[in-house]
Amino acid sequence: MSTPPAVESRPADSIAGFLAALSIFASLIGLAYRPVRLIPFAILLALVATAMGGGHARLAQLAVFTGGLCFIGGLAIAVITNNPIF
């Protein structure tokens, strides 16, 4: 019985995972505080994490999806509550 070869993690994989997690956090913060200031940068971080690929590709995909939903939701919340979007 042989064991499968060990998969080595590159430093870029770790950075991509960190960027995706940071993007999700910034998107969620953007729901409550100035969505047009924060969420486009969060989406940009998510796209960079997606381009880096690696083992955290699903997390990066979730970050892009979360950023899009938070952008739409954050703008709707800001308009409904008469808060500034910028």
Please report whether residue 6 resides in a domain. no
Give the pLDDT confidence score for residue 1 in this predicted structure: 65
Summarize pLDDT for 19-77 with one digit per residue, the tens.
999 999 999 999 989 999 999 999 999 999 999 988 889 999 999 999 999 999 999 99
Structure tokens at 35: 């969505």
More confident residue, 12 or 48: 48
Amino acid code (one letter) for 49: A
Q: How many domains are there within the chain?
A: 1
Q: Please answer whether residues 50 and 57 qualify as being in contact, where contact means their C-beta atoms are separated by less than 8 angstroms.
A: yes
Model pLDDT, residue 6: 61
Instruction: Examine residue 45 and state whether it is found in any structural domain, yes or no.
Output: yes
pTM of the model: 0.88
pLDDT of 67 reads 97
pLDDT for res 55: 86
- Answer yes or no: is 86 within a domain: no
- pLDDT of residue 10 exceeding 90, the answer is no
Kindly provide the b/e burial profile for residues 29-68, where b requires at least 16 CB atoms within 10 angstroms of the residue's own CB.
Answer: bbbeeebeebbeebbebbbbbbebebebbebbebbbebbe
Q: What is the residue range of 32's domain?
A: 11-80
Query: Tokens for 51?
Result: 């381009």
Total number of residues shown for the chain: 86
